Amino acid sequence: MYVCSHCGADSPKWIGRCPACGEWNTYKEMTIRPTSPSSAESIADTALGRGLKRNKPIPLVEVSGKELPRLDMHDAELNRVLGGGLVPGSLVLLGGEPGIGKSTLLLQTILHLQERVLYISGEESEQQIKLRADRLGISPANILLLCETNMEQIFTHIKNVEPQLIVVDSIQTMTTESQESAAGSVTQIRECAATLLKYAKESSVPVVLVGHITKDGAIAGPKVLEHIVDTVLQFEGDRHYLYRILRSIKNRFGSTSELGIYEMRTEGLRPVGNPSELLLTQANEGLSGVAICAAIEGVRPFLIEVQALVSTAAYGTPQRSATGFDLRRLNMLLAVLEKRVGFKLGQKDVFLNIAGGIRVTDPAIDLSVIASVLSSNVDTAIERSVAMAGEVGLSGEIRPVTRIQQRIAEASKLGFQQFLLPEQSMKGLDIKVPGIELVPVRTVTEALRALFG
């Protein structure tokens, strides 16, 4: 049988383009042998110490709606992204580029737990994990290591050990004897993940999976892997920088807009409690093209530095480049500047960068993008004590943004003296914010007049 490596659809013959997901050249030949229906389920049932259980329908009113206590991971950033901790019986998938620090993050997290943890490694030996634990400086007795890739052997050990948390590094290396395909294939990943899901749900033991990603940035394996897990976390960042960002792409038990920031050090990953101080460069006094924006990711406000460079197009065709910001959104804001304010930027190169290597999707960053572009164009610096937040509409108006009170409080805490905000956001706002002056603006023209006079 031929199976699509992208979505898992199968066909009795080879097809150039998958009719299910539309990808080209993804059908791979797989050898399928007939197996008993209970082959995959029996592995998890053996570890649970019972035979096959026949489920029956029950009334919704008889189902207990009480939330189970979450497992504290002793990491404020990880707890925030998970939605308050690890839910018992949940299946969490952590993906990221090679060498970004996935194994280090998980190892240093479980080293601080008091629960009995089974760490299953299919890529590293016990000595390598021990050396990493020694580098982190902690070696508790409740961590059990198992270097094994066969699921039948793994569940035999799970039955004997009865762990309270299972970590699998990585799911692409696991195999089961019920399938004849190679490790990392669509069939093996799907079968192993389904077996772990069955065990997690019926035993209430949380399972954390580490997943590889492809060169396109997607998690390797079938898309069904992301569907069956409860939470998908993406660990990203440039390995040439110190900062790593943990995002929640999917979360059945919390918000998907939360963000965790870590700093890579020789002794491991350090959670960054106040990212505003790290994302702001202190040496930009008197430099043009720099604006400070109060952004929000999830429930967390932080100040970021928006940098812009406007120069004359050297080769006739102007360039537009944006790092950490949507390029189409930048083109729209430049069109608003040209149409509503009158600045001619059609023959100039415009480069935009969000300092710190993070990517921001908050629409409140629009005002600081326009301010930094104009600051670089006229070569006039924006005062270091000014922060701003506001969404820019196509007619040049400054539209209100959410949770303006938290943005102002974060700017005031870091010593900013002025804050530009949409005039409509002043409704219901406590005007007397200590130590900071609020400057309401209605249009882009008013905002630029308040910044540059």
User: Which residues carry a binding-site annotation for ATP?
Assistant: 96-103
34 contacts: CB under 8 Å, gap ≥ 6:
none
CB 187 within 8 A of CB 178: no
> What is the SS3 assignment for 291?
strand
CA distance 144 to 242: 30
User: What is 310-340 written as a DSSP string?
Assistant: EEE-SSSS--EEEESS-HHHHHHHHHHIIII
CA distance 97 to 219: 9
CB 290 within 8 A of CB 381: yes
Nearest to 260 by CA among 270, 22, 172: 270
User: What residues form DSSP beta bridges with 308?
Assistant: 352
User: What is 379-406 written as a DSSP string?
Assistant: T-PPPTTEEE--EEPTTSBEE--S-HHH
How many CA atoms, within 13 angstroms, populate the side-chain half-sphere of residue 197? 17
User: Residue positions in the annotated binding site?
Assistant: 96-103
Nearest to 416 by CA among 399, 439, 397: 439
Q: Which amino acid is at 112?
A: H
- Read off the tokens for 397: 């108006």
CB 333 within 8 A of CB 287: no
